Each structure stands twice: as structure tokens, then as C-alpha cells.
Chains A and B, each alone.
Chain A
């Protein structure tokens, strides 16, 4: 169910949501968090789809904010100021409420502010937040240069960026690193969880011979590969070589050399098949599907406390590897 609320006010949106909850016999108190999505029209539907899927594990209220930056020209009324006293007539906000099949396990609110309202996004969403529940901010593509100082970001207890999907990944990650704060995390890191888990359990196995060298193969300018190298460099404290795999779409291999010359390796030559090789044993295949955006967002919503390992990796490990 999708309900359009053109030229509306937050109070009307709240009332509409309460009304729908009552009508449908649902309670709004089961929501565990509010997910704020700051995005644009091109990315909106895709982001909502991902958020709705993630909401099945974490029932949440999704608020997508899509500022309409061309609005004042369209309205043609000259100074359509948001401060005007009779704002009831001149709304700066179009909204949409989605329920049921269109909204995963929560409800979706799409806000399209225009004119002066685009500079006051924090007070715009405050009346719509789930009471007494954490707020998570997610920028599906281009994040602000300083998420913690951003109006929406500052309200959030967890800030999710995705430098890899921004228009300039290298520049974006540099900015994010410079302005990093403890509640920030980038999905490039989340994409590595399965690889890291498999590498860790590979190293768990005896014999526990120290690792003296590591090598990662991946395409050039692939952000998760840089984070993986930084993590290995930091944790193993050994040189980590990088080998460009021209045709690859993601990390294709990690090779850990032990002191006795034996090499532990984890390779993913194909889409979702990986091969684990350990000295003296037959290589074993295991299916490792490429992580979807939905997997990553779901994982991020699972824990909201700062990820200290990620902090170490981007603040310390990053500077120890070649770029």
C-alpha cells in the first residue's frame, strides 16, 4: 500500500501512520530502530528494496530523505520561505507512506523536502523517529564529507557509508578516513566479513606455524581489497603484497605463507565457489556467494556498537600498506 501525501506536514504524516496502524491492528512499538536513508531519486527504489529486506531481520521504520533541489523554480511563487508564518498553506514537503507488501516488516516514509526545508533535515525527521530506539543513517551512494557533522548523521548512533558505490571511491574513503568517528562504518568493510571469517578459521588449524608473508589478488582500485590488506598487515604484522588481477570483479585470492614455506590459500576463481588449500591436504571447495548489499546492511543493523577492529584498520592499518 502506497499513500501519497503531497504538500504535507510531519504532523499529518504521523497521524496517517497512527491511523494505518490502528486500522491494520498493528502496533508500532515493535520497531527496533529508525533507518534514515539519504539518497536521490535514481537510487531510491533500489535502496528501499534493500532496506525492506533488511527490515525482515530488524523490524524498523525506514525514512528515506530525497531533497528536491529544483523545487523553488517549479513553484514559481518567488520567495517561498519555510519560515513564513502561514506555512500551513505553503508546504515545502511532499511525502509518501508505504505499508504492508510495499514496506517489509515495518513502514516506509519517503520525504521530499524542498526550498529552505532542505537545510533543516534533522528537525524534519525528529517528529517521525521511533521513540526510544536507535537511529541509523545510511548513505547508499555519496556520503557527506563528514558524516558525524552532517545534520542527519549527527542524530544517528550508527552511520553507514558505502564509498565503493560513491562516484569517486578513492577520494571518498580518504575523506571518510580524515573525518572518521567511532560510530562510522563503511560497507566495504562489511563485504569482507565472510573472507575474514574463513581466513581466521583457516589459521585456527594446527600446525600453528607463524605466518611470514601474505599476498592478496584483486582488481585494481578495489576498496575492500585495500581494507583486507590493511587488516592482514595490522594483524599478522608481516608484509602484504598486492597482485592485480585485471579481469576480476572482487578479491580472488589470499595466500598466507608460513615460516616453513607452506602456503595456506583461499581462492575464489568463480562467482560463488571458493577453494581452500592447506599444505599436505586435498584442496576443498566451499560455496561463498558474493555478498549482496542486503546481506551487508543486515549485518550492520545487527550490532550498533562501534567496530573497534574497523577503526584500527582504517586509522592504522591503512597507512601501513601501499596504495
Chain B
């Protein structure tokens, strides 16, 4: 994000500059320096579907160094060859760029497998030896990143083992980094505890929290849209904006994640990280620069200015999907899902109203909603504008005119839509109706943009943190959500909603109370 400031990522001596690098030389891609990536939980879904293909795609795009190692750590009793075959299958199934035997051959030379469990010190001893062997044979020079693709409850144990085996410590000039996935705790207290555990072992600046939403091109485009253009900023405030709706809808149910999901719920799973991050990017002031520090400063300001509604009953809503037809398929209700307690009060739909106490956003509510088994899979940010203060038309002419809106479509069909009124052609009387103006990423730019994980893994290897939320942001997000969760825990059963609809009636009532309604995404 700071092309002009890139100094090679690796140099720790500020005085030395690489004579071959020139800030004006914008062609040169950022290639990670010698390093290795160790993945814990490498047989899991995330590793198989996202991480391993992303590593290959990075290699295929020439962004990984020749001295690169990839180590898998898992319980299975595999040899190196087994594991290499496993990686190859995963890569072939999901890689975004074409599979090339030559790229794969070179990547495969740096692939290692360590068998073991997290409570076995000997396994970490073997891991330590493997990593040292990579340093020796592959020239990874002591730079290693540890990807914790494991449940959060395993973090303390893995961290401790990494510390005990000396893996968390780096020699001079080298780095060790750790990557953790959400959830970052389930409330403020547990988030702090998790942070304490990890930061006992790793320096806070070496901890990268992945919120893969922030690696998405469209999310980064929010920054471009807002701060590279002149036409939005003047109206991006309470003078013109009526309210903002941020939606992340999924059409799937909980699938096989019952164990993780039950007791967590939609708000902790999605609102705490993804939606509050999207809100922060939408609402924040212009950062001084796009460096991690400046970007975080602005996001933190917004999150700390968030005010909860006084009457949580009136301004939040939750629901639980009931059986129904999801599009063309019959699906069971949440309480009938495998592994779910029949009396579970976990919400699968959550909607909340938040206000931002700043001059820019005074009186502009932000409505955040997310849910499973909704009408379709869609994520969008809709900035809905006030109606024109005076309409010099007959009342009948503007009956069909809605509010203007700028909609940032995050997924699928990434792009931006503008809604505004236009005259209906012909007819004897003037009539104005809503029309859309569309910008679609796929049409104006590359057909396949890099996967979020490609970008994020590369950023970790380069040590470039702007797209990763900090501890402070995580803590602030929990501060926002904790009171709501506490209130909800007193309520009992969430309102059921039929699968395939847009959520419980409660949510519609919540907006109706403010004289508004949800957009249909």
C-alpha cells in the first residue's frame, strides 16, 4: 500500500539502501526475502482450500523467494512424500493460476512434514530441527512465520511449545512471525487473555491477525473510492447521509461447524471482526498516510467513538433460522442441525444499530446485519442519502423515487452501484424513478484478482502490516459487542425466521421504528 516507501522489506539497517531499488521503479514486484512458512493444522479445511493454493499461486506469480520452505505440522502419521502428495492435490484442486510442473517441482523441494501433537515437546524439537535444516539446505536464513490454523484454545499450548523449543526466538537480523485467525476471543476478557498468551512469546509487532476480508480488493477499494476521489468526500457526512447499512448475508447454514458455532453466534462470528472493520473503513477520517500506523489510528478513532443505543431491545435484533426452502433446496432449521442442542439460544442472525459520536456522523445511524440461511450470499455497504430537501415536481411524479445511495458491493460481483432518480421516458406527465449506475470490477479490471489469502500471506512474509487489525482494534470491537451480548443472554430464544428469507420480523421492526427499511441486496 505504500509503493513509494518500500525498501525491500528485509533491511534492518536504515542507512543501507539497495542500489538496484528505485522508488520510481514501479515495475518491480514485491518479492518476499528468504523465509519459510510453518502451518499448524495443515490438514484442516482452511489450509487445504485456501492457504496451500495461495502459497502455490504466490510461487507461480514469482513472488516467493527461491529460498522458501513450507512445513506442515499435523497429527497424521505421514512421511514427507505423503505430505507433498497431499499438498499437490490441494493445490491442483484450488489454485487460481495454471498449475505448472516446473513451479511445483521447485516449491516441492522446500516442503517438509513434521508429525506430532501440540502437547508433545519432542514433536516441537523435530520441528525446530526441520526449520534449522531448511535454514541450512534451502537458505531460509532463520526467517520463519508460524500460521496457527488451529482452534483458539490450542493457541496457548502451541505458543508455549514454540517458546520452549526456542522456535519463537530469532537470531539477529532474522525474524519470527505468528499468524492467527479469528475468532480473537469471544469477549473482551478472553481476547485480552489470548493476547497475553501470544505476546508472552512473540513481540506484538510480529503478531499478524488475519481478517481475510481486509485482504479483499473491494475492501481496499473503499479507501480508493473515498480518498482518491473528489466527488464523494463532500457528501460523506451527516449533512447528506441519512444512514448506512452494512450487510453480510450467507446462504449456507452452519454446515459441520456446530461445535464452533453454537454458543458463539452470528454477532461474535461476523460483526465483531468483519462488519466493524468495514464500518471503520467507511466511517473513518482520512489517514495521514496508508502506513499501518496511520490507518490504525483512524480506524481506532472511529471504533472508540461508537455509541451503543440506550434501548438495546428496540435497536438490536436477533434470530435463528428455522426450516424452509433455501432457494431450490429444502433445509433444516438451526435447532435440527447435527450437534446442536434443541434448546440452543445461539443467534444465527444479528442486527444492531450503532452511532458514531463525531461531527461527521452525528445523527447518522449505522445498521449492521449478518445472518446465515438468508436469501443469498452477499456482502455490501450501502450509504443511503437523505431525500432532496425540496422536490420541484408534482407529488405523483416522485412517488416512485427512493433515496439516493452509493452501494459498495464487496462480494460477489465486486463493484460499486449508484442509485438515483431519472425521468421515465415518454408519457404525458413527468415521472421520476430509481435507476442504477454500475461499476463492476470484473469489467474494468483483471478477470481474476488475487485471493485475499495470497495478499495477506505475502504481506506477512514481507512484514507489511496495514491490512491486519491490531490488538487495540480487537479490544475496541469487543467493547462494542460485549454489552449487546450480555443483554441478549438475558432474552432466551431468538426469534425464528424461515430459511431463505431476509431474517426475522424483529429486524424489520427495528428499522421501521427509525422510519427506515432494509435494502434488498
Contact = CB atoms under 8 A, between A and B. Distances in A.
Given A193-B27, A235-B22, A289-B102, A204 B66 contact: no
Contacts of A197: 27-29, 31, 62
A286 B139 CA distance: 13
Given A56-B446, A235-B20, A204 B137 contact: no
Interface stretch (B9-17, B81-89, B181-189, B264-272): B9-17
A244 interface: no
A204 B9 contact: yes
A24 interface: no
B213 to A, nearest CB: 24
Contact of A193 (B24, B28, B444): B28
Interface stretch (B103-111, B327-335, B358-366): B103-111
A76 B153 CA distance: 87
Contacts of B393: none
A284 B138 contact: yes
Interface string A292-307: 0000000100010101
A273 B102 contact: yes
Interface in B100-143: 100, 102-103, 105-106, 109, 136-139, 141
B394 interface: no
Contacts, number: 114
Interface string A94-129: 000000000001000000000000000000000000
Nearest to A208: B16
Contact of B103 (A232, A236, A287, A307): A287
Interface in B22-39: 22, 24-29, 31, 33-34
A287 B443 contact: no
B339 interface: no
B28 A276 contact: no
A26 B26 CA distance: 34
Given A193-B28, A287-B105, A288-B62, A199 B141 contact: no
B387 interface: no
B19 A201 contact: no
A27 B8 CA distance: 42
Given A198-B31, A211-B19, A204 B445 contact: no
B19 A57 contact: no
Given A284-B67, A308-B24, A204 B102 contact: no
A236 B11 contact: no
B447 interface: yes
Interface string A186-215: 000010011011111101111010010000
B166 interface: no
A203 B447 contact: no
B445 A309 contact: no
Nearest to B100: A287
Nearest to A204: B8
A240 B139 CA distance: 27
Given A30-B440, A32-B444, A276-B66, A235 B19 contact: yes
B18 interface: yes
Contacts of A196: 20, 25, 27-28
Contacts of B18: 200, 203-204
Interface in B432-469: 440, 443-447
A59 interface: yes
Given A204-B33, A273-B102, A299-B27, A282 B444 contact: no
A284 B28 contact: no
B324 interface: no
Interface of B: 8-13, 16, 18-22, 24-29, 31, 33-34, 62, 65-67, 100, 102-103, 105-106, 109, 136-139, 141, 173, 440, 443-447
29 contacts: A27-B443, A30-B443, A30-B444, A57-B446, A58-B446, A59-B443, A59-B444, A59-B445, A193-B29, A196-B20, A200-B18, A203-B18, A204-B21, A204-B33, A205-B141, A208-B16, A211-B19, A235-B20, A236-B20, A272-B102, A274-B66, A276-B67, A281-B67, A286-B66, A287-B102, A303-B27, A305-B26, A309-B22, A309-B24
In the complex, the 3 A-B pairs of residues with the closest C-beta atoms, listed nearest first:
A30-B443, A286-B66, A284-B66
